[in-house]
Structure 1
């Protein structure tokens, strides 16, 4: 096509010049921004630059005079981020004929050719209105439509008819629903470790949505307009401008750092972003941690102001929602929201700063607070000072909130959101928005604590009893179970201070319990739970809980059944509150076994009786009879097994092994069986074979090559020299059904065992990008247990394929016997524990040598 532009050359020449000009001017805009970062200059400058380019090409492609080129979306608003799409509407007076379609295609191709990411549509006015009526995204894009070039009268007609068709009420409802759906995609939290600065709760999209509703309802086009309409205060308008600029800087920097439209604040970019935005490392905090804490506080303020403005919009857009209902001399209900009766309620009655949360708990018909109540609450939060905290009436109010039968989690989330909790509990202030770079907590410290509180609360609720039947039964039998809420609030409150956060938090909890006059027994329980909130998980996952001595030691720490039950409940809630990926049925079983064994011991059983050896065998026999096996068929096989075997396995596992092996205890052929376990997230594998050299190394190599993570391994040798090993594997996400995976394991592993060779090393694999940016220093500890019969190897390292193989290979090379392996994968980190014997470990030099060799293997 030889279209010319005023005789200056063909379209290809125009495209080439436009491409060069766009690149040069974009580079100049970036240089100017980096020299003096101003978001308005960059965003508007880029929009104007694109305007010039698209106008030039519109003309060069010979577009008809009665058509219009319209900018929509963010481009229509006159803001373009460095790598954002350019959204265009080709507004036509009528459906295009073939010649016009060719021209439109040529124009779109030319725009792509010069380096623009184009989103486009070609529509008539009727098409626009029809699409807008059925698609809220189209309606939103047209809300900010701006004429770039072409027929002004055609554009004005679209604007007039669009404005006439706009229904602010329907638009408001649709955008609220859209926000709820978007929040759900991001787990309803702005506090994820890698938030999306545009789409996550508290991101730029929330601010844009406020602007769209204001435009649709004709309430203004900027924050100053909203202040003039008294929808926000002048101070809030200033806050919103500053917040918006900060988030815009984050997004601009991300685009420049990555060279693409990247809106996720990934670990890969956080340290660079922090330094580009002027944050520096200080004290115990990295620059990225300081930056992300600022980001979270910003996102928190966005969600606060978003709530206030949406409620104010609602009162303007839906003015006929009924009269106020008086609750007390301080509060009333307006449209199912709690409202202050006088603007100075919190000034004259500071206790109302807590009372409002109590009322929301007590009156289920109230869905939240009005905008003016929230604003007054926020502006008066600093009235909660040392004098306020010392007032017995205020202490009583806080304890009432803790002890209510409903609304506990909502109350504390609101108190955290609006700065009340950090004023009432000064230690809380330090953990708001604080990241946890252990890579298995997916929430900031304050949000993790609130998740743990939520989990404990769910144990008390009938609608969740089917999820946690044992927890529900235990907590309802625990006197004053609300003490667990206090333990949850304080268990991690000292994170990030340096030192042992459990002991530091214990002191905070002790001070709180003393100040709030809790009885010594109750206060002692809260303090003890905070001090020991990690103890049960450490025993369950790192100790050999089939050893009666281990149960005795744990019972000595616990002391009584009330503490045991409370610690079990808190531990369960804590692990579940770190990340959806950390909890699994295997961990649940470890905790449950430890709980019941300790409970039996505390009730008078001996340590051996507490492990329930006789009960396990009897339960296993019942299962065998259930599966149709006649009494006594298991005796020959069981006679080859020692008591440790029965202590370490569950009745279900014992019965499964017996069903498979009772008729072949002296099999010359390897026996390999696998089955799905738990909630269908793992596979259990049993291997029975005459004991042979390097067996465990070969097995770990096999599973590693298949991509499985080994969660648990138990190694036994029968009295007549057979290895009976059991593994729990985490499914790596194979596309094939479980049935096919099980058949593959059984066939392939049997083949390997029938023709043993040298152990095959699995690929080491690549480290995740999270570990690359937040490296985990490996740690190894090898020490004798308290009884001196075995040695406990504990290691912490970055997770990777082949890690367990490397450890097993070192142990095998020294002739060390492995009894059990506990593999605990916490996000990107593993914390593994092995029970060992032999190999000359009683000699200090040998012990240090093994430690050093394992540490060398863990270095990445």
Structure 2
């Protein structure tokens, strides 16, 4: 680079050569990166190219005798530069020199920008540097890492002296401010590194965390970097080597991301993940171990290590600043130091799992401990290699582990063991899924983090009623052995990424673990069954009509008894809620509670005596009548309204829904169109009921109206009354969390019902994230056994306005919708419709079905799934 610029005597010539040289330099870096050259060589090389440009421009613009000094600061100052990083510069000189050369400094900075170097700069004297540092800790931090580019070699030392007065950010103040800054930064990312699109630089466990503890070490102890903390006893050699290793992982990801993006980009978004994995040389191994998943697992594991050691260092710095404090004994072998649990003889941990179990048991018994003392945590980390898998452990150790699992703080203990790397060593299958993500929008956590979240929900069930879960706190106390539920939660996804059915493979793992830990045969069988069948209840509830007695009977036969039902219900609730914070809602809670209640009744009645539809209808009518009589309606008035209701309505709706609908009709004063909207009991969603003269296209107009209001339809019940009215019910959710007011929704529906033919779906651009995923369109048909209808299934990529557009296609084909179940799993949609022709019969002609299939595919997939204006279902 320096040779290329040597002959550039004018600014114009320099600009041209600099742009060419910068582009050539970045291309050379790309080739070296693709060839696998170590990132700790590439980062300094990138910095050297920038140095050559900056120095050349400085010499071109500033006279050699100018009393000014040019320093690199921040990341550029510590020679950690990435292809699109900013260049942080400090022009140091007295005010008179600044003023005399103001125009030349401006020309210098303009040249750098013209060349393509993004530059941030400051022009200050030493006194001004001290003043700015005193008011802004980020200014101080940037100048702490300065190095000389041009000028007097004594200036870096002079700057360091100017920033050294005791009153200028004393070590304790600096530590507190930087720790608070890190906490605020982590909070912006929900305090977790496990984001679908993590920030490599600023997120928890990212490069900034490494830099933060480095800066603290510099300010508190005057050392030049992390490795200099090792001789001081503040950082173990193993810890330092781990941080250096993880820096290389993170730095390589950031370097490659800059090369791909062609601009400063720190968030590893979906638009770059696949390309970056390819640039790193990773390849898909199989469908459930994609290259992008391998890359992200590497990131998450590196981030977890950085977080772990970062926490230890912060604790050590805090203790050093706090000074000596008498420890508080905790039993014979432990004590609290500055509030943290310490092992008096941490070298015992080198013996492996047995003393570690003792440590975690002591920790569980010390609720006032702020955490594990850093020295004990370091000894634990250095002893991880001594842990043998559970299959090689003595029986006493396995029994001790089970005792932890049955203790009152079992979930907290398992989470601690996972975070500190112990669980993955004892249970190698768990170690394999540590940091493993799935490349989709449905699973927002890595497998290990999802598992721990599931266990946390199970723990919550035991703490008392939670309005989000209707029955969980009632069911949990009935469990014979609650720790078996935790075991099922621990193993339910443990086989992901291996190829094959993870439920079946996980059941094999669970059985082996249970047998090795001497669980009774009945307990072993139960845990293995739960792992193998952990998706059964959610699939049944969300994809089938659970108001159908045959559906409930089939599910009851699979479950077989009350014990299996109780465990499976709780596992299913925890699994769904632990998949994504946005996935669990009042509708899903009600759905699972209804299936649980119906199955419990079927089991109590006996599988040999299946419940028949006419019995359910009679029970629903009686229960609804009781409610309505209590509300003041007469039996005659209720029977008059119900005379037009089809029997299937009493099969599909709960008694309280029938009562709500009936009260609305009774209070309408004979109006032809009635619209009722109410919030879900647990909040977060709406239920809508419409009674209006039936006509074709009604369903399409209604769902298009919901789409315009930003509401997702979760379930639709579309019935026809004997007096020519549609009786339509919808369960609705808002993806934004807060739905519109019921009155607003009701008004919009009334307006749409005045002229349904004029209502059309809105068209909006697909959300950015959806554009990076592709689910092949699948349309399937099958007929009801009695020929009364045709079921249509639709699997495809989610997109804006999907249901409204599909409804328009059904309308164009003169088909009627009688039932719809809408399920969205991240980017994947699985919708089910019950259809009839215009004469309310199954769609018998094969040609008509093929025509419908082609139209649905064309509607859903018309743009090949690459961003045509569509909107979120």
* TM-score bracket for this pair, using the shorter chain length: 0.7 to 0.9
Equivalent pair of 2:72/2:90 in contact (CA under 8 Å): yes
Quote the residue 1:344 is aligned against: 347
Quote the residue 1:745 is aligned against: 748
**SS at 1:833's partner residue?**
strand
Equivalent pair of 1:672/1:749 in contact (CA under 8 Å): no
Which one of the candidate residues 613, 621, 638 is aligned to 2:620? 613
Task: Specify whether residues 343 and 479 from structure 1 end up closer, same or farther in structure 2 by C-alpha distance, changes over 3 A only.
Answer: closer
Quote the residue 1:360 is aligned against: 363
Quote the residue 2:720 is aligned against: 717
Q: Kindly state the Cα deviation for residue 220 of structure 1 after the two structures are TM-superposed.
A: 3.2
Q: Kindly state the Cα deviation for residue 215 of structure 1 after the two structures are TM-superposed.
A: 1.4
Task: Specify whether residues 349 and 453 from structure 1 end up closer, same or farther in structure 2 by C-alpha distance, changes over 3 A only.
Answer: closer
Cα displacement string for residues 105-126 of structure 1 (whole angstroms, at most 9, x for unaligned residues): 5554444333222223444444
Q: Kindly state the Cα deviation for residue 262 of structure 1 after the two structures are TM-superposed.
A: 1.1
**Partner Cα separation in structure 2 for residue 7 and residue 797 of structure 1:** 60
Equivalent pair of 1:697/1:808 in contact (CA under 8 Å): yes
Which one of the candidate residues 639, 644, 650 is aligned to 2:648? 644
Quote the residue 1:253 is aligned against: 256
**Partner Cα separation in structure 1 for residue 580 and residue 441 of structure 2:** 10
Task: Specify whether residues 150 and 848 from structure 1 end up closer, same or farther in structure 2 by C-alpha distance, changes over 3 A only.
Answer: same
**SS at 1:217's partner residue?**
helix
**SS at 2:263's partner residue?**
coil
**Partner Cα separation in structure 1 for residue 163 and residue 565 of structure 2:** 66
**Partner Cα separation in structure 1 for residue 738 and residue 358 of structure 2:** 54
Alignment of 1:171-250 (within 5 A): 171-218=174-221, 220-250=223-253
Quote the residue 2:734 is aligned against: 731
Q: Kindly state the Cα deviation for residue 362 of structure 1 after the two structures are TM-superposed.
A: 1.2
Q: Kindly state the Cα deviation for residue 216 of structure 1 after the two structures are TM-superposed.
A: 1.6
**Partner Cα separation in structure 2 for residue 160 and residue 326 of structure 1:** 46
User: Do structure 1's residue 461 and structure 2's residue 463 form an aligned pair?
Assistant: yes
Quote the residue 1:310 is aligned against: 314
**Partner Cα separation in structure 1 for residue 137 and residue 652 of structure 2:** 59
Equivalent pair of 2:127/2:162 in contact (CA under 8 Å): no
**SS at 2:793's partner residue?**
strand
Equivalent pair of 1:67/1:154 in contact (CA under 8 Å): no
**RMSD over aligned Cα atoms:** 3.8
Q: Kindly state the Cα deviation for residue 810 of structure 1 after the two structures are TM-superposed.
A: 5.5
Q: After the TM superposition, which of the residue ranges 449-458 and 306-315 deviates more from structure 2?
A: 306-315
Q: After the TM superposition, which of the residue ranges 575-584 and 741-750 deviates more from structure 2?
A: 741-750
**Partner Cα separation in structure 2 for residue 97 and residue 558 of structure 1:** 81
**Partner Cα separation in structure 2 for residue 461 and residue 197 of structure 1:** 37
Q: Kindly state the Cα deviation for residue 782 of structure 1 after the two structures are TM-superposed.
A: 3.1
**Partner Cα separation in structure 2 for residue 132 and residue 621 of structure 1:** 73
Task: Specify whether residues 558 and 166 from structure 1 end up closer, same or farther in structure 2 by C-alpha distance, changes over 3 A only.
Answer: same
Task: Specify whether residues 663 and 639 from structure 1 end up closer, same or farther in structure 2 by C-alpha distance, changes over 3 A only.
Answer: farther
Q: Kindly state the Cα deviation for residue 452 of structure 1 after the two structures are TM-superposed.
A: 0.4
Quote the residue 1:448 is aligned against: 450
Alignment of 1:71-220 (within 5 A): 71-94=72-95, 108-150=109-151, 156-164=157-165, 165-218=168-221, 220=223
Q: Kindly state the Cα deviation for residue 615 of structure 1 after the two structures are TM-superposed.
A: 6.0
Gap regions ≥5 residues in structure 2: 865-873
**Partner Cα separation in structure 2 for residue 269 and residue 28 of structure 1:** 21
Quote the residue 1:267 is aligned against: 270
**Partner Cα separation in structure 2 for residue 535 and residue 8 of structure 1:** 72
Equivalent pair of 2:713/2:731 in contact (CA under 8 Å): yes
Task: Specify whether residues 844 and 430 from structure 1 end up closer, same or farther in structure 2 by C-alpha distance, changes over 3 A only.
Answer: farther
Q: After the TM superposition, which of the residue ranges 656-665 and 552-561 deviates more from structure 2?
A: 656-665
Equivalent pair of 1:204/1:248 in contact (CA under 8 Å): yes
Q: Kindly state the Cα deviation for residue 650 of structure 1 after the two structures are TM-superposed.
A: 4.4
Quote the residue 2:558 is aligned against: 557
**SS at 1:78's partner residue?**
coil
**Partner Cα separation in structure 1 for residue 624 and residue 96 of structure 2:** 81
Task: Specify whether residues 750 and 124 from structure 1 end up closer, same or farther in structure 2 by C-alpha distance, changes over 3 A only.
Answer: farther
**Partner Cα separation in structure 1 for residue 308 and residue 776 of structure 2:** 39
Q: Give the TM-score normalised by the residue count of structure 2.
A: 0.86
Q: After the TM superposition, which of the residue ranges 81-90 and 772-781 deviates more from structure 2?
A: 772-781
**Partner Cα separation in structure 1 for residue 225 and residue 630 of structure 2:** 71
**SS at 2:482's partner residue?**
coil
**Partner Cα separation in structure 2 for residue 114 and residue 455 of structure 1:** 55
Q: Kindly state the Cα deviation for residue 26 of structure 1 after the two structures are TM-superposed.
A: 4.5
**Partner Cα separation in structure 2 for residue 358 and residue 600 of structure 1:** 42
Q: Kindly state the Cα deviation for residue 709 of structure 1 after the two structures are TM-superposed.
A: 2.9
Quote the residue 2:870 is aligned against: none
User: Do structure 1's residue 290 and structure 2's residue 298 form an aligned pair?
Assistant: no
